[in-house]
């Protein structure tokens, strides 16, 4: 892992324009990822994590979804300033995405070799022989056994775990700088998930790719992420290095979330359950978004949304409690 | 009255596989291949395993949605394989209900909540409209919903609320056993705790037994009294939950636990030691010889591919593994 | 409500948000105009005796082949002109519309009921019953339609009910096939499983759980079928094996004017335009309904 920053997201705002008006799905989100590093974005459904991924790779469903503010810098260039054509050149080559469902991520009517080759043919000027070599080398990178024989396989002939590897192969075929993975392991069995995560750690070590890993599973976070950003209702509430987040969580949501997850390594008598539901983004009251579910709010929390405070080495929290002087 | 409510003895379910125009029989998918388990009154047994292990098939058999190839289910000591269909409808079905995994498709989108919850009563009892209405309101209250929710349609609720409605429906006939198929896996993390706590409370209040199908071990540990670990149609380890999780015996159990445990990284920010199994679960069409797990087992030796291991009782658990012969 | 609903509501409507005002107006018109046309059809069909200016069957050899009022030589007494036998085209159009509408409504009612019932039973119960029913469906669809209509016309004699019979025999199979397909999909949904778990009978499941969930597709098909039935009846009448004279039918009106296409073109063209407009309107309406009803079904 080097110190070079590959992705820098500054104050990103994404909105969806619906019958109810403008819904600010992402409301001022900032983070960065370094070469060879994995940043986890963790949160529940509706918090905006998937939309963050789609915003970065600029694949929001049009015309309803739009990035309305901020900067997305990939190796220094602002992706939001690129034309559609330029962005297409980036996609697949410099920045790729893996989705959750291996069943529908692959086209059932083409053999997997063709699907991996498609990306290579689009972005690199190679002869057919060289393309074939690249496909095989990518299959080897994903530790798919007997790659030469697998080229002609169709997706339905593969298991879920294998399919997800093929999806990974398509993503890594042009050795991108940034990989966005949106819940890639959620649909996999536990033991296959473990294999897959171990595999991606190796790939990251070999290629230095930066990964944004979107998930709701803390176990996976602990396993693969160097740093974590916790999202709630369109905002990042806490960012920290993984170990630090688990040992010293500060935001009430982070703490509550960790306490509501049952542990396997010890007996839990009673799970803490956060009362209420995530807020409706169309109808936000002023003040902190977590307020209705916070177990111990301050008076000030009603009035203004908390500002981010850096409280440690790469550890920042958006909560008024952090601002109180002792 | 014995403590054991439901017992499955040597349940087997094979699906025939045919090929070609003439439907020639070429083999069997051995989805469930001889499993035995029991659920005690007021307690929870979880069937744990990955996809293809056979746990869903076993649950469907208990719910009479699958006809067993062989083996029998005993309910309150009686062999229900010998029940006529009207006896089943009168004595078994109302006592064994279900909550399904997907809160979005387990309810008829065209029916109001009050009709959804009332349906078991309408189908099985001759209660008056008044009585039914009263019971529906009672059930809504028990699962933490409001009376006005009865008039709404399922799509107006969140996933967690829908699961509550599903639980209310399952409780309608005062069942002795509820089969829960991955009851919380489709829900958000912070909602899971709510539903699990609700289920536990209801179990305490009404002395209901649960048969839970799950793959998430942490959930299983929180909810279960006994656990059965399934692999490729067989139970490889079975026993009291706490003991099993503290001292897992079977290598597969250990691998599953290792893959699921949330270990806070110590040294580097993400170096976590794990047991990583090689390969994938083989097809139930053609299970490996001897111990079915030997193809992926980190401790397999010669005998494992030759002989099927027998049940060995160790304390409150039993395990099928040559390591313990 | 939770964000789920937000994200669902935010899913881009296929008819597009972010479209210009003008584009949105055009989209609205593609619904309003068809509905208007069909409403006119229905109203004139119902109130024909009060609306039609003249008798549709009264001949008048003195006023034959008069052009429509907006052309030279036309009169306001016969707004759309007269045909070869001096009959007022507008009145015939209106009464003809009544025929077209009643034939299509009746046929749709009959075919949809039979087809749906058989389709649900076949789809839900499966097994041998399904195979038998589906084979019958196949045979029905493979039957040459025109031949059957002709045979019936010769056998029973041409008439209103002969047409109904012919079109019904030919029409139910489509519903059966489609409904069976939909039933197969709905059958696998969890709430059907749930109904079995609580002990509901197959009949109850088919009626209370399956049928309400296939209605959406059924309505779309039925709407599109209106246009198809009108076209079918017109075709039969054009060929002379449909509704016999003197009852006016748009199809027979087109046939009547065949020989006068060069001089008195309006005799064929006006009913032809009517057929075209109505069929198009049904298609637009059907498409609109499909879009409107489909996403809600998928919102599950």
**Bridge partner residues of B157 (DSSP):** none
CA distance A134 to chain C (A): 38
Give the closest-approach CA distance of B194 to chain A in angstroms: 5
| Average pLDDT over every residue of A80-102 | 87
In a domain, residue B230? The reply is: yes
Q: How far apart are the CA of B317 and the nearest CA of chain C, in angstroms?
A: 32
Neighboring chain B residues of C196 at a CB cutoff of 8 Å: 65
Residue C181 domain-assigned (yes or no): yes
CA distance A104 to A87: 24
Q: Which chain C residue has its CA at the smallest distance from B103's CA?
A: C190
The pair of structure tokens assigned to B12 is: 């087997």
* C-alpha pair distances (Å), B136 with each of B60, B263, C56, C150: 26, 44, 62, 60
Pairing relation of β-strands B209-214 and B226-231? unpaired
Closest residue of chain A to B280, computed from CA coordinates: A192
Rounded to whole angstroms, how far apart are CA atoms A222 and B265?
7
Token pair belonging to B132: 């039914």
What's chain A's average pLDDT? 88
- Of B192, B261, B265, nearest to A242 by CB-CB distance is B265
Count the alpha carbons within 13 Å of C290 in the hemisphere toward its beta carbon. Answer: 13
In angstroms, the CA A207 to CA A203 distance is 6
Between A286 and A319, name the one with better pLDDT: A319
Output the CA torsion sign for A293, A294, A296, A298: negative
- What residues in B contact C1, CB-CB < 8 Å? 156, 158
Query: Is C194 in contact with B93 (Cβ distance < 8 A)?
Result: no
Question: What is the spatial distance between Cα A60 and Cα A66, in angstroms, rounded to a whole number?
Answer: 7
What share of chain C has pLDDT > 90, as a percent?
14
pLDDT(C290) > 70: yes
- pLDDT single digits (tens) A27-81: 999 999 999 999 999 998 888 899 999 999 988 887 788 899 999 999 989 999 9
Instruction: Report whether A248 contacts A316 (CB < 8 A).
Output: no
* Helix, strand counts (H, E) of chain A: 11, 12
| Inter-chain residue contact A273 with B281, CB threshold 8 Å | no
Q: Does B70 contact chain C (CB < 8 Å)?
A: no
- Cis bond before residue A63 (omega within 30° of 0): yes
CA B153 to chain centre: 28
**Which chains would you list as touching B if contact means 3+ CB atom pairs under 8 Å?**
A, C
Closest by CA position to A123, among listed A81, A95, A151: A95
Q: Does residue A246 surpass a pLDDT of 50? A: yes
For residues B149 and B140, the answer to whether their CB atoms sit within 8 Å is: yes
Q: What is the four-CA torsion angle of C42, C43, C46, C52, rounded to 10 degrees? A: -120
* pLDDT, tens digit only, all 325 positions of chain B: 468 999 999 999 999 888 877 778 888 899 999 999 999 999 999 999 988 889 999 999 999 998 999 999 999 989 998 889 888 888 899 999 999 988 888 999 889 999 999 999 999 888 899 999 999 999 999 999 999 999 999 988 888 899 999 999 999 999 999 999 999 988 888 888 899 999 999 999 999 999 999 888 888 999 999 999 999 999 999 999 999 999 999 999 999 988 887 766 665 555 556 788 888 888 888 889 889 999 999 888 888 888 889 889 988 899 999 988 7
Q: Tell me which chain C residues have a C-beta less than 8 angstroms from the C-beta of B124.
A: 198-199
Average pLDDT over residues C201-218: 88
Q: Could A63 and C17 be called an inter-chain contact, meaning their C-beta atoms sit closer than 8 Å?
A: yes
Chain C hits for A46, CB-CB cut-off 8 Å, are 2-4, 6-7
Cβ contacts of B156 on chain C, cutoff 8 Å: 1
Nearest to A190 among B192, B256, B269 (CB): B256
pLDDT at position B210 is 96
Of A166, A176, A76, the closest CA to residue A124 belongs to A176
Question: Angle C145-156/C160-187 helices, nearest 10 degrees?
Answer: 140
Cβ–Cβ contact A271 with C under 8 A: no
And the tokens for A276? 């209420």
Q: Residue window 226-255, chain A: list those with CB within 8 Å of chain C.
A: 233
Inter-chain CB proximity B156 and C195 less than 8 Å = no
Q: Which residue has the higher pLDDT, A54 or C292?
A: A54
Tokens found for residue B128:
């008056």
A22 touches chain C (CB under 8 A): no
State phi, psi for B100 to the nearest 5 degrees.
-100, 175
Q: C1 to chain A, minimum CA–CA distance in Å?
A: 6
Query: Which among A160, A190, A227 has the least Cβ separation from residue B260?
Result: A190
Cβ contacts of B204 within 8 Å, gap of 6 or more = none
* pLDDT tens per residue, range C19-71: 566 777 887 888 888 899 889 888 888 888 888 888 888 888 887 888 888 88
Rounded CA separation B198/A263 (Å): 18
What is residue C45's predicted lDDT score, i.e. its pLDDT?
86
Q: Is the pLDDT of residue C6 over 50?
A: no
Confidence bin at C87 (pLDDT 50/70/90)? confident
Burial class of residue C99, CB neighbours in 10 A (0-12, 13-18, 19+)? buried
pLDDT, one tens digit per residue, over A249-307 is: 999 999 998 888 888 877 788 888 888 777 878 778 788 888 888 888 888 888 888 88
Where are chain A's structural domains?
A: 5-94+177-274, 108-175
Measured in angstroms, the CA of A127 and the nearest CA of chain C are apart by 40
Residues of A in contact with C23 (CB under 8 A): none
C294 chain-B contacts, CB cut-off 8 A: none
User: B52: closest CA among B279, B220, B285?
Assistant: B285
Torsion angle defined by CA atoms of residues B197, B199, B201 and B202, in that order, rounded to the nearest 10 degrees: 160
Nearest-Cα distance to chain C for A282, in Å, is: 7
Q: Of C191, C196, C299, which has the smallest distance from its Cβ to B107's Cβ?
A: C191
Q: Percent of chain A having pLDDT more than 70?
A: 99
**Chain B interface, Cβ < 8 Å to A:** 50-51, 158, 160, 188-194, 196-197, 215-219, 221-222, 242, 245, 255-266, 269-270, 272, 274-277, 280-281
Residue C20, pLDDT score = 63
Q: Where is average pLDDT lowest: A254-258, B240-244, C96-100, C242-246?
A: C242-246
Q: Which residues on neighbouring strands pair with residue B8, listed in sequence order?
A: B37, B73
Give the distance from CA A170 to its chain's centroid: 18
Helical (H) or strand (E) element with C10: helix C3-10
Structurally, at CATH architecture level, domain A5-94+177-274 sits in: 3-Layer(aba) Sandwich (3.40)
Does residue B325 lie in a domain region? no
Contacts of A237 in chain B (CB under 8 A): none
In the block, which residue shows the tokens 């080097």?
A2
What is the number of domains present in chain C? 1
Residue for token pair 């050795």: A175
Q: Are A97 and A151 in contact (CB under 8 A)?
A: no
| Number of CB atoms found within 10 A of residue A8's CB | 17
Q: φ and ψ at A210, to 5 degrees?
A: -90, 140
CATH number for the domain harbouring residue C227: 1.10.3720.10
Domain that holds residue C249: 63-298
Would you state the pLDDT for residue C10? 43
DSSP secondary structure code for residue C88 in this structure:
B
> Does B322 reside within a domain?
no
Tokens 């003809």 -> residue: C96
For residue B314, give how far its alpha carbon lies from the nearest alpha carbon of chain C (Å): 37
CA nearest to C216 within chain B: B110
Quick one: pLDDT at residue C300? 33
What gap in Å lies between CA A311 and CA A249, rounded to an integer? 11
**Residue of B248, B252, B266, B270 to mutate, testing the A interface (most A Cβ within 10 Å of its Cβ):** B270
Encode A185-211: b = buried (16+ Cβ within 10 Å), e = exposed. bebbbbbbbbbbbbbbbebbeeebbbb
- Mutating which of C3, C5, C17, C20 best tests the A interface, going by the most A Cβ atoms within 10 A? C3
Comparison of pLDDT for C109 and C28, the residue scoring more: C109
In a domain, C107, yes or no: yes
In angstroms, the CA B13 to CA C153 distance is: 58
- Minimum Cα–Cα distance from A272: chain B residue: B193
- Chain B nearest-CA distance from C221, in A, is 20
| Residue among B157, B187, B193, B273 with most chain A CBs within 10 A, to mutate | B193
Q: Could you tell me the residue range of the domain that residue B115 belongs to? A: 4-250
Of B106, B110, B111, the CB nearest to C190: B106
CATH number at residue B87: 3.40.50.300
Please tell me the distance in Å from B151's CA to the nearest CA on chain A.
21
CA distance A21 to chain C (A): 9
Among candidates B89, B93, B106 on the partner chain, residue whose Cβ is nearest the Cβ of C191:
B106
Give the total number of structural domains in chain B. Answer: 1
Q: What is the 3-state secondary structure (H, E, C) of A58-99?
A: CCCCCCCEEEEEEEEEECCEEHHHCCHHHHHHHECCCEEEEC
Q: Using an 8 Å Cβ cutoff, are B304 and B290 in contact?
A: yes
Are the C-beta atoms of A166 and A115 separated by less than 8 Å? yes
- Residue C261: which pLDDT band, with cuts at 50, 70 and 90? confident
Cis peptide bond upstream of C246, omega within 30: yes
A294 is written with which tokens? 């916070």
Q: Is residue C12 part of a domain?
A: no
Query: What angle is formed at CA A101 by the lines to CA A97 and CA A105, rounded to 5 degrees?
Result: 60
Distance CA A112, CA A149 (A): 11
Asked if the C-beta of A16 comes within 8 angstroms of chain C's C-beta atoms, the answer is yes
Asked whether the beta carbons of A32 and A236 are under 8 A apart, the reply is no
In a domain, B259, yes or no: no
């Amino acid at each position: 892992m080097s110190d070079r920053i590959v992705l820098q997201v500054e104050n990103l705002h994404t909105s969806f324009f619906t019958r109810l008006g403008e819904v600010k799905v992402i409301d001022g989100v900032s983070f960065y990822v370094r070469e060879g590093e994995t940043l986890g974005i963790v949160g529940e459904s509706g918090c905006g994590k998937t939309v963050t991924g789609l915003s970065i790779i600029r694949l929001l469903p049009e015309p309803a979804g739009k990035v309305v503010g901020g900067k997305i810098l990939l190796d220094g260039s602002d992706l939001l300033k690129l034309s559609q054509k330029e962005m297409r050149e980036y996609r697949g080559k410099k920045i790729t995405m893996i989705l959750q469902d291996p069943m529908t991520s692959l086209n059932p009517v083409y053999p997997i070799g063709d699907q991996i080759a498609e990306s290579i043919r689009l972005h690199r000027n190679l002869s057919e022989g060289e393309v074939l070599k690249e496909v095989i080398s990518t299959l080897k990178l994903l530790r798919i056994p007997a790659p030469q024989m697998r080229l002609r396989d169709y997706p339905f002939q593969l298991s879920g775990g294998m399919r997800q590897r093929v999806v990974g192969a398509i993503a890594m075929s042009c050795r991108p700088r940034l990989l966005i993975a949106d819940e890639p392991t959620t649909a996999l069995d536990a033991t296959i998930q473990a294999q897959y995560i171990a595999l991606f750690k190796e790939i990251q070590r070999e290629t230095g790719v930066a990964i944004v890993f979107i998930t709701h599973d803390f176990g996976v976070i602990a396993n693969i992420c160097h740093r974590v950003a916790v999202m709630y209702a369109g905002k990042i509430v806490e960012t920290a290095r993984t170990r630090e987040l688990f040992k010293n969580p500060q935001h009430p949501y982070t703490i509550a979330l960790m306490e509501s997850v049952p542990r396997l390594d010890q007996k839990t008598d009673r799970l803490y359950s956060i009362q209420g539901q995530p807020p409706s983004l169309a109808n936000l009251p002023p003040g902190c978004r977590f307020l209705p579910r916070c177990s111990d709010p301050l008076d000030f929390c009603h009035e203004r949304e908390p500002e981010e405070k850096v409280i440690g080495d790469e550890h920042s929290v958006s909560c008024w409690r952090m601002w109180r002087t002792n | 009255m014995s403590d054991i409510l439901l017992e499955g003895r040597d349940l087997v379910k094979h699906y025939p596989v045919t090929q070609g125009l003439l439907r020639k029989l070429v083999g069997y998918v051995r989805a469930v291949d001889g499993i035995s388990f029991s659920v005690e009154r007021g307690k929870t047994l979880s069937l744990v395993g990955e996809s293809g292990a056979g746990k869903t098939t076993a649950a469907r058999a208990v719910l009479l949605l699958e006809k067993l190839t062989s083996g029998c289910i005993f309910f309150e000591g009686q062999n229900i394989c010998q029940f006529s269909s009207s006896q089943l409808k009168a004595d078994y079905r109302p006592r064994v209900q279900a909550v399904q995994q997907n809160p979005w498709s387990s309810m008829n989108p065209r029916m109001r909540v009050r009709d959804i919850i009332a349906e078991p009563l309408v189908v099985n009892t001759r209660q008056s409209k008044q009585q039914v209405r009263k019971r529906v309101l009672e059930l809504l209250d028990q699962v933490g919903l409001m009376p006005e929710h009865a008039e709404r349609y399922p799509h107006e609720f969140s996933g967690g609320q829908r699961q509550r409605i599903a639980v209310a429906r399952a409780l309608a006939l005062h069942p002795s056993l509820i089969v829960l198929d991955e009851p919380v896996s489709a829900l958000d993390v912070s909602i899971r705790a709510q539903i699990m706590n609700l289920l536990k409370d209801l179990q305490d209040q009404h002395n209901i037994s649960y048969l839970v199908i799950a793959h998430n071990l942490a959930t299983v540990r929180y909810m279960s009294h006994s656990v059965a670990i399934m692999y490729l149609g067989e139970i490889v380890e079975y026993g009291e939950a706490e003991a099993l999780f503290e001292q897992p015996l079977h290598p597969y159990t250990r691998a599953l636990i290792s893959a699921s445990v949330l270990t806070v990284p110590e040294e580097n920010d993400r170096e976590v030691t794990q047991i990583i199994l090689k390969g994938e679960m083989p097809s139930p069409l053609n299970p490996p010889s001897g111990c079915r797990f030997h193809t992926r087992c980190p401790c397999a030796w010669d005998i494992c591919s030759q002989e099927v291991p027998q049940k060995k009782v160790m304390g409150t658990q039993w395990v099928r593994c040559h390591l313990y012969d | 409500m939770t964000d789920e609903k937000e994200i669902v509501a935010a899913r881009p409507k296929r008819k597009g948000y972010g479209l210009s005002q003008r584009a949105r107006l055009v989209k609205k018109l593609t619904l309003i105009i068809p509905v208007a046309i069909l409403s006119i059809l229905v109203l004139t069909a119902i109130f024909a005796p009060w609306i039609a200016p003249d008798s549709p069957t009264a001949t008048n050899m003195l006023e034959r082949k008069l052009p429509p009022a907006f052309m030279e030589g036309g009169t306001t007494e016969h707004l759309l002109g007269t045909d070869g036998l001096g009959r007022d085209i507008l009145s015939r159009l209106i009464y003809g519309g009544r025929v077209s509408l009643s034939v299509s409504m009746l046929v749709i009612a009959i075919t949809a009921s039979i087809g749906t019932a058989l389709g649900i039973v076949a789809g839900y119960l499966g097994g041998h019953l399904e195979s038998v029913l589906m084979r019958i469906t196949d045979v029905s669809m493979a039957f040459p339609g025109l031949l059957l209509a002709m045979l019936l016309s010769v056998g029973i004699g041409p008439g209103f009910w002969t047409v109904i019979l012919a079109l019904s025999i030919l029409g139910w199979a489509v519903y059966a096939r489609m409904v069976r397909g939909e039933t197969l999909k709905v059958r696998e949904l969890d709430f059907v499983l749930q109904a079995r778990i609580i002990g509901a009978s197959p009949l109850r499941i088919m009626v209370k759980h399956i049928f309400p969930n296939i209605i959406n597709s059924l309505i779309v098909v039925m709407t599109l079928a209106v246009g198809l039935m009108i076209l079918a009846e017109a075709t039969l009448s054009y060929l002379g094996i449909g509704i016999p004279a003197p009852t006016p039918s748009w199809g027979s009106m087109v046939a009547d004017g065949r020989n006068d296409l060069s001089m008195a073109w309006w005799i064929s063209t006006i009913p032809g335009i009517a057929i075209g407009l109505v069929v198009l309107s049904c298609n637009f309406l059907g498409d609109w309904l499909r879009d409107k009803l489909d996403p809600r079904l998928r919102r599950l």
